Each structure stands twice: as structure tokens, then as C-alpha cells.
Amino acid sequence: MSTFRLDKYLADAGIGTRSEIKNYIKKGYVTVNGEPTKKPDIKISPDDDEIVFQNQPISLSEFEYYLLNKPAGYVSATKDNTAPTVLTLIDSKRKDLFPVGRLDKDTEGLLIITNDGALSHRLLSPKRHVDKTYFAIVDGIVTKADVTLFEKGLEIGDDDLDIAMPAQLIIEKIDPEQNISHVTITIQEGKFHQVKRMFQAVEKKVLYLKRIAFGPIALPHDLPLGDSRILSKEEISMLQKF
């Protein structure tokens, strides 16, 4: 495991802010290998050093991984001044967690939360072509012609440079009376409002959107909306190998 500054390690463990922790250290509340320290910037190794705060050992894994069933109304960010963030739904004291990519505020479904920056970068890299699958309810009747257009790629902006890569569109259910369609769509990009803009390009509107899979990970049917769970070792391994 890597080495860390003592104050950053304690902050990531949720003990307090960096300024609060520096004050705790000055007051002798923190010991390293049984000895009080007054230096917040000393380097420690969680594998080799015993860190204790007010007689409580502090143990912190280098990385944490969560699977969240995001509800509408939450912003996929670490901070926001207008709405609650997805991190408020995660039961962790860590201060270094972040969402892998983003879902729109009104979009539900699978979102991975972690502090593993290298894994996040690989999963979001356009060169990796990681599948992202959504269930959508669309205002309008989706046709086989739409499916073909999605397969070819669509212009989704004001100029011919803003083109969405080919995507797989599957028609699940058509309701002619209500003029709506239930579909699944798999894309390999993460452009701003991409799914909504793709349907706008074929003169239809997304009424409801939920991500149901990200790469090899599918949204569990038994995970309630707004709840999260820790990814299993097998799931983490799948993401790392993907």
C-alpha cells in the first residue's frame, strides 16, 4: 500500500477536516505506533504503521467501491450548491469518494462510487468502449428505422462534428394508445445528455431513463432505489479486467 500524509489519511477516514485534524495532532490525540506525534505531515503506511485516534485504531482500506441505485433529484458530483449529491447516499466516512462518470439529475439507476482514480479513468476512457445500458420510456413510437439510425450513429448537435457513435437500440414494448415506447439502449460514450439527444435526433422525447448496466456490472433487482452496497471482490475483479 502507498504511503500517506498523516493528516490526509485521517481526513480520508472521516475523522475531521484537515485543519481539525492538525489541531487534534497538536493536542496529542493521535499516536503512531504507540507514540504521540505533533507532525501532521509525517508519512505513514497503513500496512506497517498502527494509527490510533483517541484510543481508537484507525483502519482504512486504500480503495472502496460502491454500487448505488441512484434516485432522481441527486447530482452526480462531489459538491453542489443546488441539490444533494450522490455521495450523501453512501454509508462511508471517507472524504475522497467520487462517482465514476455521471447520470443526469433526473436519471435513475446504476452508478459506481469509488476513490480508485485509475480504475475510473480506464472505465471512462473513450478508447475502452465500455458498454452503458439504459432502460427508457420514450414519448413516441420507436420504429425499426430508428433502430437502424442508432446503429449507424447520429448527429446530436448543431453541427456535423457532434456525432454519437453507433448504439444498440432494442424495442421492448410499444403502447400505441398512449403513444409511448419502452426500449433499452446501449452506448459506449458519455456525452452530455447523450441518450436524450439521440432520441431528439429522431424526433422523440425521453420521459424516463434508468441505467441498468455499466460494463460487466448489472443493476441488482433487489437493490432499492436510493440504496447502495459494497461491490464484491468478484465484481471489482471484473471491472479491473474489463
Tell me the residue type at 107: T
Q: Give the H or E element holding residue 140.
A: none
Is residue 104 among the annotated active site residues?
yes
Pairing, β 163-164 against β 154-155 = antiparallel
Query: pLDDT tens across 122-145, in order?
Result: 999 888 889 999 999 999 999 999
Query: pLDDT tens across 30-66, in order?
Result: 999 999 999 999 999 887 889 999 999 887 777 899 9
Rounded to whole angstroms, the Cα distance separating 168 from 182 reads: 14
Residue written as cell 439502449? 185
Q: What is the pTM of this model?
A: 0.80
When mean pLDDT is compared over 18-32, 90-104, 199-213, the highest value belongs to 199-213
> Which whole-number Å values give the CA distances from 104 to 71, 75, 130, in the listed order?
10, 7, 18
Residue 73: left (phi > 0), alpha (psi -120 to 50), or beta? left
Rounded to whole angstroms, the Cα distance separating 167 from 44 reads: 47
Q: Which of 49, 80, 96, 104 is labelled catalytic?
A: 104
Helices H, strands E: what count in the chain? 6, 17
Rounded to whole angstroms, the Cα distance separating 162 from 123 reads: 22
Give the pLDDT score at 161: 67
Rounded to whole angstroms, the Cα distance separating 37 from 195 reads: 53
Find the angle CA(190)-CA(191)-CA(192) to the nearest 5 degrees.
120
Q: Find residue 137's DSSP bridge partners.
A: 182, 208
Give the pLDDT score at 158: 67
Tell me the residue type at 240: Q
Rounded to whole angstroms, the Cα distance separating 77 from 75 reads: 6
Percent of the chain with pLDDT over 70: 98
Residue 93 has pLDDT above 60, yes or no: yes
Report H helices in the chain.
6-12, 18-26, 117-124, 144-152, 194-201, 233-241
Q: Find residue 79's DSSP bridge partners.
A: none
Give the pLDDT score at 193: 93
Rounded to whole angstroms, the Cα distance separating 162 from 170 reads: 23
| pLDDT confidence bin for 159, thresholds 50/70/90 | low
Closest CA to 44 of 74, 98, 6: 6
